[in-house]
A and B are shown apart, each in its own frame.
Chain A
């Protein structure tokens, strides 16, 4: 266990970077995912088609491929970033947004059609129906799956370690390389720091769910 204590600063740096990647990608994915879900239920066929294509492609592609695309193919096409963190955030948020869109869509489907019809009948436009009536109820219904997706996002961020970003997993690999005799301890340390993010997220999920649950 000495290796964990001796390298706490390294672990901490990795932990902060993992937290940063997850937080930024999480926020972007939540926004993008909600927009995609809205597009999916909108009356405009082109938007529905775009949203469906996006979700189906990103959801069914391995995350590593998304990373490969962001970190290696994009620069070849002329989109260059100074920091590989940018590529990681693009890959993570684009990938996660697809899952969030599907979760939100399932929430939208859970809102009885009568509510939308009632809103329309008092003269609300589509945007108003969606933002005032449907989405607030939909999002509250899907808190548990949304948090699950965010927990997966935190763990998925470890893929960035293989794409030139030194986050928790990247430092873990570095420590394992230089401490060949204590690989188990190194990995236990890495797991501990991931739990430090994911377990509170789980607790947050149940708290929020209790607070905002809709009794139907």
Chain B
């Protein structure tokens, strides 16, 4: 009955979205919004990256294909998620329709090389801004601030904040940064696992009380099994600012993207993109973080 209801709900959402706008963009699953309004023949300064992309009529964007709610490719081959929505919005401002975007998969290890080699124009892939990476690529944004969070069983009301796990068993990946934080800063007892998904069974069996890592990864688990798990809270206790990676020192392009991000925040398309994707699990819609114009 439950599954039936969920499916029905997603059908209604998809159907109403299709009615409200056009039929073109529905990927056949939740988390898809329709095409943003594409700018008609926008003009840009001659020689700028925006002008090149606009006149080419296409843009190459790298994203994760396996990160539910942010960038995930389903059976239809079309990526969906919050990162993907950001890409569509930016492309629309360049006069490029969503179906003219060339998506490619950028996993953590190939993001910098892909940008440097020009295989992608932008990387929007849960990509944390840090100084080491700034040596080789430039970042627009941040457009979202992820951070460490806790996931607990649906019926657990005792753990709300990281201070609540003191002396309790928490599962995380051996040697990872979140594992170090929860043990050293909050005094949890680490139950070490090889992957985050390996932590799910012990949590279900109540052999551990929580799982900890970045909220976006946990949100992906909650999205799959909303009846079993929930985030302890929407609050995060570390900061991982996600940026949009582009070629190093393309300052004009970077500033232009930053301007667009601020505009998305103003005109509500940022919030809309959030609610259609990651917002299904992380209820509090984030404010656009302060743009870092370095």
Contacts and interface: CB of A to CB of B under 8 A. Distances in A.
Q: Do A and B bind each other?
A: yes
Interface of A: 72, 75-76, 80-81, 84, 162, 164-166, 170, 173-178
B286 interface: no
Contact of B191 (A76, A84, A162, A173): A84
Interface in B194-249: 194, 198, 201-202, 204-207
A84 B198 CA distance: 14
A164 B204 CA distance: 15
Contacts of B201: 72
B192 interface: yes
B255 interface: no
A164 B205 contact: no
A84 B207 contact: yes
Contact of B174 (A72, A81, A84, A173): A173
Contacts of B206: 80
B117 interface: no
A166 B192 CA distance: 7
B202 to A, nearest CB: 7
B175 A164 contact: no
A164 B176 contact: no
Contacts of A175: 175
A133 to B, nearest CB: 47
A166 B198 CA distance: 15
A177 B205 contact: no
B178 to A, nearest CB: 12
B192 A178 contact: no
A80 B193 contact: no
Given A165-B192, A166-B192, 8 more contacts: A72-B205, A75-B202, A84-B191, A162-B194, A164-B193, A170-B192, A174-B175, A176-B175
B171 interface: yes
A80 B192 contact: no
A137 B71 CA distance: 66
A76 B202 CA distance: 9
Contacts of A174: 174-175, 192
Contacts of B194: 162, 173
For chain B, the bracket of interface size reads 10 to 19
Nearest to B190: A166
Contacts of A84: 191, 207
Contacts of B207: 75, 80-81, 84
B17 to A, nearest CB: 39
A20 to B, nearest CB: 17
Nearest to B202: A164
A76 B171 contact: no
Contact of B205 (A80, A162, A166, A173): A80
A165 B194 CA distance: 11
Nearest to A78: B205
A177 B176 contact: yes
Given A164-B192, A164-B193, A75 B205 contact: yes
Contacts of A176: 175
A211 to B, nearest CB: 42
Contacts of A75: 202, 205, 207
A166 B183 CA distance: 15
Contacts of B202: 72, 75, 164
Given A72-B201, A164-B193, A170-B192, A177 B175 contact: yes
The 3 A-B pairs of least Cβ separation, nearest first, read A177-B175, A75-B205, A174-B175
A21 to B, nearest CB: 15
Contacts of A178: 175
Nearest to B177: A178
Interface string B154-198: 000000000000000001011110000000000000011110001
A39 B204 CA distance: 38
Nearest to B176: A177
A176 B175 CA distance: 8
Contacts of B175: 173-178
